[in-house]
Amino acid sequence: MQPQAVLEAVLYTDDLPAAERFYTEVLGLDVHQPANRRQVFLRCGPTMVLLFDPTVTANEASSVGGATIPTHGARGPGHLALRVAADSRQRWRDHFSARGVAIESEVEWPAGGWSIYLRDPAGNSIELATAELWGID
Amino acid sequence: MQPQAVLEAVLYTDDLPAAERFYTEVLGLDVHQPANRRQVFLRCGPTMVLLFDPTVTANEASSVGGATIPTHGARGPGHLALRVAADSRQRWRDHFSARGVAIESEVEWPAGGWSIYLRDPAGNSIELATAELWGID
């Protein structure tokens, strides 16, 4: 028994509207469900990036059709990596520069590939990386 | 400018060897790099699931080729969803039952699709879900 892929990656923030702006305007993700007091749901290709306010999700169980959606909610800077094309490095640099977003670090991986790191408004570490880094086609 | 997909989803734990056992033996992920004192790296199809000890990653920056890998590290139960086939629900139930792993909840989504929720050894909320839930083919 094996899952097929990551379907949802999750980060936490106390400011969901700021997260929605950052993930759409700076990172280019598509809004699946706009920010409310609990969450904002974003789509990235065949995967989802979900941001939650941990004050809400850790303390208020929600339910669907009588079934409980389990609580969760972490504090402190999390991490997420998004897959980008190998030839897009300079375009991403220019894109961030034009929006006044600082690049925290850039890494060239020994096995090949590269990563650009920045911070979201909540301080989460966001990485744009080529799949080559993991030997993934 | 748009990323292509989630490449790495991240969770945190104080017990990386226990995480490695759970994510391989119970969830069926492949080990990319076994647990050390900092991390365990697991592969799931075209994506990665990375578990870190936040005591290490929040406080010790690592470097590659002179470049710094930014620090991160969250505390408290996080969340991750892994994509599974729509027809695999009973097989997963049987798989978890045979390993003595409790299912915390099961949800049928109004838009279609289903989710099974369980907890990893660190208390993170792990979901197996069909992509139909998000309208993803």
In this predicted structure, what is the pLDDT of residue A61?
A: 85
Of A48, A70, A137, the CB nearest to B117: A70
Q: How many CA atoms lie within 13 A of B55 on its CB side?
A: 5
The neighbouring-strand residues paired with B41 are B33, B50
Closest listed residue to residue B4, CA positions, set B57, B50, B46, B51: B46
Closest listed residue to residue B21, CA positions, set B31, B11, B8: B31
d(CA B9, CA B48): 6
What's the pLDDT band for B137 if we cut at 50, 70, 90?
confident
Query: For chain A, what percent of residues have pLDDT higher than 90?
Result: 95
Look over chain A and give the mean of its residue pLDDT values, rounded to a whole number.
Answer: 97
Closest listed residue to residue B11, CA positions, set B116, B105, B88, B81: B81
d(CA B134, CA B63): 37
Q: In this model, does residue A83 exceed pLDDT 90?
A: yes
In A78-116, which positions are buried (b, 16+ CB within 10 angstroms) versus exposed (e)?
Answer: bbbbbbbeeebbeebeebbeeeebeebbebebeeebbbb
Range B98-110 average pLDDT? 96
Q: In this model, does residue A67 exceed pLDDT 90?
A: yes
A14 at interface of B, judged by CB pairs closer than 8 A:
no
What's the pLDDT band for B1 if we cut at 50, 70, 90?
very high
Q: Which helix (H) or strand (E) segment is B58 a member of?
A: none
In this predicted structure, what is the pLDDT of residue A106?
A: 97
Q: Which helix (H) or strand (E) segment is B128 a member of?
A: strand B125-129
Query: Given an 8 Å threshold on Cβ–Cβ distance, is A5 in contact with B69?
Result: no
Range B109-135 average pLDDT? 96
Nearest residue of B to residue A95, measured between CA atoms: B1
Tell me the shortest Cα–Cα distance from A99 to chain B, in angstroms. 12
Nearest residue of A to residue B68, measured between CA atoms: A105
pTM of the shown model: 0.97
What's the pLDDT band for B17 if we cut at 50, 70, 90?
very high
In this predicted structure, what is the pLDDT of residue B9?
A: 98
The ipTM assigned to this model is 0.97
Q: What CATH number is given for A8-56+77-134 in this structure?
A: 3.10.180.10
In this predicted structure, what is the pLDDT of residue A59?
A: 93
Helices (H), chain B: 16-21, 54-57, 89-98
In this predicted structure, what is the pLDDT of residue A111?
A: 84
